[in-house]
Amino acid sequence: DGHLSLDGKTIGVAVVGTQHFWDREAFNGAVSTVEELGGTVVPVDGGRDNQVHADNHDILLSQGVDAVISILGDGAVEPKFEALSGAGIPVFTVDHQSPFGTNNTTSDNYYMGTTIGRYMADAIGGEGNVAVFNAFEGALRICGIRAGLWKYVLEDYPGITIIQPELAEEFANAPEDARIKTLDLLSQYPEGTLDAIHVGCWDQPAIGVVQALEEAGRTDVLVTALDGGPDTLEIMAEEGSPFVANVAQQPNLIGSTAAMNVARHFAGETLLPQTFVEVVPVLGQDGAKAAYEQLGYGTLD
Amino acid sequence: MTQPMSQRLLGVFPIIVFACLFAYLGVQSTTFLSLDTLELITKQAVPTVIVSLGLATVVIAGGDDVVAGGIDLSIPATAIICAAIIADQLTNQGASLPFAMILAFGAAAIIGAINAFLVVGLRMTPLLATLSMSVAIVGITKVITSSRRIGVTDETIVFIRDGTIFGIAASVVMTTVLVLVFYHALHRTRWGMNMQATGGSRDAAEISGILTRRFVVQSFLIAAFAGWIASVFVLARGSGSSPGTEENMLLEMVLATFLGAAFSPRRVVTLWGAVLGAVVVSALSVGFISIGVNVFWTGCIKGALILLVVASASVTTKGRS
Amino acid sequence: MTLRSVFARFGLIIIIVMFFSFFSYVSPVFLTFDNQVNIIEASAIVLILALGMTLVVAMGGIDLSIGIAFDFGAAFAVVALKDFGAAWYVACLIGVMGGALVGLLNAILIVGLKISPFMATLGTFFVGSSVERVFTNGGGPISYRRMPQEYRDLAVGDVFGIPTEVIIAAAVCLVYFVVLERSIFGKRIHAIGLQKDAANVAGIPVRRYMFVAFILASATCAIGGLIGSANIRMFTPLAGFSYLLDAIAAVFIGAAIHPKGRPNVIGTLVGVLFLGMIGNGLNLMGLDFNLKAALSGIILVSALALAVAQQRFR
Amino acid sequence: MTDTLLKMCDITKSFPGVLALDAVDLEVERGEIHGLVGENGAGKSTIIKVLAGVYKADGGSVDIDGETLADVTPRSVHDAGVRFIHQELHLVQHFTVTESVFMGQEEQTLLGLSARAMRAKAEAFFETALGTQLSGKTLIRDLGIAERKLVQIARALIDAKAKLVVFDEPTAPLTSGETDKLFAAIRKLKEQGIAMIYVSHYLAEITDICDRVTVLRNGQNAGRFDDVFDNSAPAMISAMVGREIDELFPTTEHSAAAPRLEIQSLCADAFNDVSLTVHRHEIVGIAGLVGSGREDLIDTIYGLKAPSSGTLKIDGIAQRFRAPSEAVAAGIALVPRDRRHDGLVLDMSVSDNVNLAALDSVSRWTLENRRASHAVATEMSETLDIRPRNIAATARLLSGGNQQKVVLGRWLNKGADIFILDEPTVGVDVGAKVEIYQHIENLAKDGVSVLVSSSDPGELIGLCDRILVMLRGKIVAEVSTTDLGVDTLVALTTGGAVQEVAV
Ligand SMILES: Nc1ncnc2c1ncn2[C@@H]1O[C@H](COP(=O)(O)OP(=O)(O)OP(=O)(O)O)[C@@H](O)[C@H]1O
Ligand SMILES: Nc1ncnc2c1ncn2[C@@H]1O[C@H](COP(=O)(O)OP(=O)(O)OP(=O)(O)O)[C@@H](O)[C@H]1O
Ligand SMILES: [Mg+2]
Ligand SMILES: [Mg+2]
């Protein structure tokens, strides 16, 4: 792809928030790649407010950027995308499929959901009680896909029961919040009545879940989650960690790919509606170590 | 008893700071000082402006001691729940916009009444009463929406989002009218003066025969009303109701309203100060983006600037008393 | 004794007992020893932050930046451990000093520049949040899984079976009780909170006391940050904000049950435990999480309203 | 003119533990100025607050114009034409003069407030009725106390519908010139047939302008004077206190010893080049009109305000106080003029207030030793005869004189070497005054240096050894009080012409 260039182009990069590892890495990947390709970046951050995120697109419109990379967000952005493309500014989305976008760069969320479902079912031997942190299923489409397919897979295992009601994690201070909720859950489900805890759309809460399990001496309860950032891979790689399965994404690569797609677009290439960036299924301690290295986070001993 | 020139200059110092800043932004960015940008800034400030009108009213009627005086932190939550109710009615229940709005109005009225009861009836600290109310309202909103986004495609809402009146963004025109109505009521009528007196000194007002409790009650009802109005613009901004938008709005509202006090030569919360505060905060966001400030740093610069202005306001006030 | 006077004396206590019985009835787990320990443990951090808030509110201020002090405590300590290999106690000290830095900024703004505490600490909140984000390159956590066991034990260890975090919180609580309710320092703080000008004329060095109190409060919150970071073995930026409302609510519930409506240490303790019990009880009831959010908010409002009403009936 | 305008009958009002009013009668005739006098705590303010609808009476009736008010509320009383000039300056700091005068009675048209008309009216009222010029645009917080008082009065009278105006100690913050102006205004009102109730501790004012006087004692009627003469004061005093007071001031000669407080060429915004010395055993007075720089001088000495130049020495050592705490550490004590705001922490107990400045001495390892602090407070409340004799009582609930004694007690307890008393007896009744004077006298006897700033010439002459007179920020005279007449002192403070004054 050496021929690609964004020389003289101004690219708006809008991200819904940057607190979470995934969001930030996708943002950084997009920004640095645009700059490497010789483009100028106008970055905007929604501070985790979908409406502010949407509003930010208006600012990009008024700045007269040549293209917009929009990372995450909910339906509030659609009219803004419509306005941008109406003004001849192509929109490249990340993890957000939109009729007004030129291209959506994303992980294969369907694959993530089914894979983690299978991994979890296998880990608990195909039967048992599982609890799930799942506050975002209804709020974000990608989370709906991941959690929905996880449940779809579990339908094949009549011996697995999803504990009701489902738990809700908080976005802010997620590990500590999940830790306390897990402790409460554990006192409700004594030894032998709970087999796994799954975090439906990401894995920050899993840090607190693992912590609670270790504190309560209940590491027989297994943990699964999605995203596979360096922090959680490190936990998985620990001896005897209850955190047994994950599907790692490559957010930096996703952001970077979106930026490349912008350049491809300007180079006259035709893009498919979606570009899928490879995900890395992670199973067990050794799997975590391998993934950590593979994804370029360094080595874990 | 006219003030010397230097004191008058000190009085408007905070405004000068921002004027300089905007001039700087204008020089740095080719697009910042244009009518289009001004429209964009005001358009984005709309929901904050409206909830700030509500907060300013409560502060004016309750006094500007933020802990013991008047404050209503539940206005953004009110706006959010009203938006959720309207969105739910329109999209999920197939109701008409007027019906949905009436339902939301009922909810806002109940919230205003409860706030008023807690503060005036039980004499609860307003900060505490409205903060906890806000938590409860956000919780109830979650039940209404199941924490989901509800998109809205109603024509009127879309008009408020995209439409223009006399070539100016519809939301800006409507908000301007609303601001003028509020301004007239609070600063240009007897009722408004009595409301101001109530907040300025409860004892003094009571001794002047002003039924202060009634005014405080009214201020909370008006605040809820502002939340209700704001909900429509929140819906328009987000083309529906999205979960989790109250926190940011709360911070911006408080910031705008009390920053506005720094703009007022008397150093008290006023309506026009709150409106100006909201627009200035919005302009800062747009301005920083237009000169390409690192997104991680904008909060820091914003915070520092605001502290600078509030500090200068406080120093200059102390100097006069 | 009339119904009214019973209510006036014990209103909130009755409500607390009612909730306690209710939760015991609907959840078989609620009353178990383990679960009660859970409640107390989960309340430890909130209690520490609420105590810092109690000090500030007793002095007539408010501190919206306790979350930042919490974060700074965690960040400074974790960075000291991870990047500088500091001993655990050195890291604790550095963490507390990091929190004190936040208090120092507040003190300079409030005492030096005479900004109102609300605005000043709101400003500190903005600036502090932003500094955290810049420092962590956007808000990423700083994880240190292999932290020294002694440091971890701040959160997960125990002494004679009592969790360390509970012991720390109890110690802070005791110190605060003595300082705020029994010492002449506390008496002066209360005098400043009630009538600053009169305290000044009475020869109390008001500015110095306010300066010290804001720093002390932030340093206290940083202790909460130490425990928080030991709990999950990492520093999560902006985590402290989630304690703000609970801390404020606890202080005011506590003030409401005080005979003179003053913020006080025992009241704050009661307030924190009450909030902890509600959170835990609702978690155990098996409700849909949206409904739970609504209920906990409604209970908060009602409890505060009752606490205040109780005072009015005296 | 014997037709009754106001008739309050059998008014009873009790507060927890106190029977504040015990079947009190008060009758005011149309067009008269009716004095209401009594010691601190006699019930004057309470009966006025009952009339104002602030307190609900336990029993009794209120008739205005022959009609019994069914419900005494602030509104019904206002509608009946009764206006109150409260003792407290209830004003909104950030309002303009016009806004304050028209507060609660704004004039508006369909288009909104008639701002210009109101301003013109207000300014005209000040000019004609009160003889002052005051811009309607000035903010209250930029006004002096006396001007604020005038605003308050203007507010009550501007609608010209008042039938009965109640003044609760209106002249306390006013200079004699302003008092004269106020009296002129009051007499003008009287000519228009408006009746007035006039509450004051200044008996000379009472005898000067009142037609009739009601005396309260301990919440009961203690007499009514239907004819008031210039020499009625002694009779009133005996009715008030139930005994004769012949000696108001202790008469000891002090032998001034070594200088303790020395001030040289002190300058600040409000005063210029002030030098003074106070010796041990000496009581020095500072006389001057309100606004003469007296108040700022006191504040500057005590570290509340910063001087721009000049030196202050204590026992020969130069000092620079950046805060009152430093002045206190150097042995200075201030009994401030505004005791409710600066003197007491109103919501703390008497005991806490007495101990507030000397907490170190009632503590062990910085913890409060409650037994010690209670002992100190109990002793102080015995010594000063603070009533009620309950050290756990909240300071807010004490009457003015007793509150002042608590402030005094705090500094006696602290054991300061230099006492500065700013308006020590404003709003304090005669009985308590005598006691306070005696305590000041005792202090001087014990070697303390005392500086008294007061607007009461009689008080200064009776109490002090020497008086410094301030005028427009400068010390213009220093006089010995031996054989000093009130008229001479007043002449000095007003800068010349000898005037008739009230004592
Ligand atoms: N709200 C109240 N609660 C309890 N006691 C009260 C209250 N108001 C007044 N009192 C008591 O009633 C008595 C009469 O007080 P009042 O204020 O009427 O006296 P006063 O004549 O105005 O005294 P002063 O000369 O100090 O103004 C006092 O003993 C006072 O302590
Ligand atoms: N809330 C209250 N509870 C109990 N007593 C009160 C209360 N408010 C006022 N008082 C009593 O009422 C009396 C009168 O209060 P007020 O405010 O009229 O001052 P005052 O007595 O006129 O003071 P001064 O003599 O200095 O003018 C005081 O003696 C005080 O003890
Ligand atoms: Mg009185
Ligand atoms: Mg009085």
Percentage of residues of chain C with pLDDT beyond 70: 99
Judge contact between A254 and A29, C-beta under 8 A. Answer: yes
Percentage of residues of chain D with pLDDT beyond 90: 42
Task: Mark yes or no for CB contact C236/A164 under 8 Å.
Answer: no
pLDDT of residue D498: 37
Kindly list the residues from chain B whose CB atom is less than 8 angstroms away from the CB atom of residue C122: 251, 254-255, 258
A12-16, A60-64, A137-141, C172-176: least confident range: A137-141
User: Is the pLDDT confidence value at D1 over 50?
Assistant: no
Give the mean pLDDT of B138-155: 91
pLDDT per position as a tens digit, C131-182: 998 888 877 889 898 889 999 999 888 888 889 999 999 999 999 999 999 9
Distance CA B219, CA B24 (A): 39
D429 lines ligand 1 (CB under 6 A): yes
User: Is the pLDDT confidence value at B287 over 90?
Assistant: no
pLDDT of residue D255: 66
- Determine the topology of domain D256-331+417-429+446-503 in CATH: Rossmann fold (3.40.50)
pLDDT of residue B244: 80
pLDDT per position as a tens digit, A266-298: 999 999 999 999 999 999 999 999 999 999 888
* CATH number for the segment(s) D4-241: 3.40.50.300
- Determine the topology of domain B31-320 in CATH: ABC transporter involved in vitamin B12 uptake, BtuC (1.10.3470)
User: Is the pLDDT confidence value at C247 over 80?
Assistant: yes
Could you say which of B44, B243, B244 has the minimum Cβ distance to residue A55? B44
- Chain C: nearest CA to B314, how far in angstroms? 6
Give the mean pLDDT of D234-238: 78
Give the mean pLDDT of D340-367: 92
Judge contact between C44 and A182, C-beta under 8 A. Answer: no
Task: Mark yes or no for CB contact B139/C130 under 8 Å.
Answer: no
C3-313: which CATH architecture? Orthogonal Bundle (1.10)
Distance CA A277, CA A105 (A): 7
pLDDT of residue B319: 41
pLDDT band at residue B8 under the 50/70/90 scheme: low
pLDDT of residue B67: 66
One DSSP character per residue, D304-320 reads SS--SEEEEEETTEEE-
Task: Mark yes or no for CB contact D92/B196 under 8 Å.
Answer: yes
Distance CA C85, CA B27 (A): 48
**For chain C, first and last CA: distance in Å?**
13
Q: Which residue in this structure is represented by tokens 């000044």?
A: C200
D404 lines ligand 2 (CB under 6 A): no
Distance CA B59, CA B268 (A): 9
ipTM over 0.95: no
Give the mean pLDDT of C80-103: 95
Judge contact between A57 and A98, C-beta under 8 A. Answer: no
pLDDT per position as a tens digit, B40-62: 999 999 999 999 999 999 999 99
B313-317, D66-70, D294-298: least confident range: B313-317
Distance CA B149, CA A53 (A): 14
Of B33 and A177, more confident? A177
User: Is the pLDDT confidence value at C261 over 90?
Assistant: no
Expressed in angstroms and rounded, the spacing between residue B304 Cα and the centre of ligand 3 is: 49
D75 lines ligand 2 (CB under 6 A): no
Distance CA B223, CA B78 (A): 9
Listed by start position, the domains of chain D span: 4-241, 256-331+417-429+446-503, 340-416
Binning chain B into helix, strand and coil, the percentages to the nearest 5 are 75, 0, 20
Q: How far is CA C67 from CA B141, C167, C175, C218, D303, in A?
A: 25, 22, 21, 9, 37
The sign of the torsion formed by the CA atoms of C239, C242, C244, C249 equals negative
Task: Mark yes or no for CB contact C123/B303 under 8 Å.
Answer: yes
D462 lines ligand 1 (CB under 6 A): no
Provide the CB-side half-sphere exposure for D50 (13 A, CA).
Answer: 29
User: Is the pLDDT confidence value at D400 over 60?
Assistant: yes
A248 exposed, middle or buried (CB, 10 Å; 0-12, 13-18, 19+)? Answer: buried
Question: Who contacts D101 (Cβ-Cβ below 8 Å, separation ≥6)?
Answer: D118, D122, D125, D136, D151, D154, D155, D158
Q: Which residue in this structure is represented by tokens 């004190």?
A: C100
For residue A184, report the phi and psi dihedrals to the nearest 5 degrees.
-60, -40
Identify which ligand lies nearest to the alpha carbon of D346: 2
User: Tokens at residue B178, please?
Assistant: 């609303």
Expressed in angstroms and rounded, the spacing between residue A181 Cα and the centre of ligand 3 is: 60
D40 lines ligand 1 (CB under 6 A): yes
pLDDT of residue B1: 39
Q: Which residue in this structure is represented by tokens 């405004």?
A: B15
* Closest C-alpha among D404, D234, D190, A71 to residue D412: D404
**Nearest atom in ligand 2 to D429's CA:** 25
pLDDT of residue B3: 53
Expressed in angstroms and rounded, the spacing between residue B279 Cα and the centre of ligand 3 is: 50
* Closest C-alpha among D136, D188, D202 to residue D157: D188
User: Is the pLDDT confidence value at D473 over 90?
Assistant: no
Helices C117-135 and B246-263 cross at an angle (nearest 10°) of 130
Distance CA A214, CA C157 (A): 12
User: Tokens at residue C35, please?
Assistant: 């679960």
Judge contact between C238 and C142, C-beta under 8 A. Answer: no
Find the closest chain A residue to B36 by CA distance.
A62
User: Is the pLDDT confidence value at D483 over 90?
Assistant: no
Q: What is the 3-state secondary structure (H, E, C) of C49-86?
A: HHHHHHHHHHCCCCCCCHHHHHHHHHHHHHHHHHHHCC
Kindly list the residues from chain A whose CB atom is less than 8 angstroms away from the CB atom of residue B237: 51, 54-55, 76
Question: Who contacts B144 (Cβ-Cβ below 8 Å, separation ≥6)?
Answer: B81, B84, B85, B88
Angle formed at CA D190 by CA D189 and CA D192, multiple of 5 degrees: 65
User: Is the pLDDT confidence value at D502 over 60?
Assistant: no
Distance CA C78, CA C143 (A): 8
Give the mean pLDDT of D53-68: 90
pLDDT band at residue D253 under the 50/70/90 scheme: low
User: Tokens at residue D150, please?
Assistant: 């005038």
Distance CA D317, CA D299 (A): 20
Q: Which residue in this structure is represented by tokens 């182009």?
A: A9
pLDDT of residue B88: 96
Give the mean pLDDT of D113-124: 91
Expressed in angstroms and rounded, the spacing between residue D219 Cα and the centre of ligand 1 is: 9
Expressed in angstroms and rounded, the spacing between residue D419 Cα and the centre of ligand 3 is: 27
Task: Mark yes or no for CB contact D139/B205 under 8 Å.
Answer: no
pLDDT band at residue C1 under the 50/70/90 scheme: low
D41 lines ligand 1 (CB under 6 A): yes
User: Is the pLDDT confidence value at D503 over 50?
Assistant: no
User: Tokens at residue D298, please?
Assistant: 């006191």
pLDDT per position as a tens digit, D320-331: 999 999 999 999
pLDDT of residue A226: 94
User: Is the pLDDT confidence value at A175 over 60?
Assistant: yes
pLDDT of residue D110: 84
The mean pLDDT value of chain B amounts to 88
Judge contact between C69 and C239, C-beta under 8 A. Answer: no
- Chain A: nearest CA to C302, how far in angstroms? 24
pLDDT per position as a tens digit, A205-257: 999 999 999 988 999 999 999 999 898 999 999 999 999 999 999 999 999 99
B80-84, B141-145, D201-205: least confident range: D201-205
Q: Which of D301, D334, D335, D347 to probe the C interface (max C CBs under 10 A)?
A: D347
C257 exposed, middle or buried (CB, 10 Å; 0-12, 13-18, 19+)? Answer: buried
* Closest C-alpha among D459, D457, D469 to residue D428: D459
Of D451 and C29, more confident? D451
Q: How far is CA D303 from CA C188, C210, D325, in A?
A: 19, 18, 8
pLDDT per position as a tens digit, A66-96: 999 999 988 899 999 999 999 999 999 999 9
User: Is the pLDDT confidence value at D351 over 70?
Assistant: yes
Distance CA A287, CA A283 (A): 5
User: Is the pLDDT confidence value at D206 over 90?
Assistant: no
pLDDT of residue A137: 86
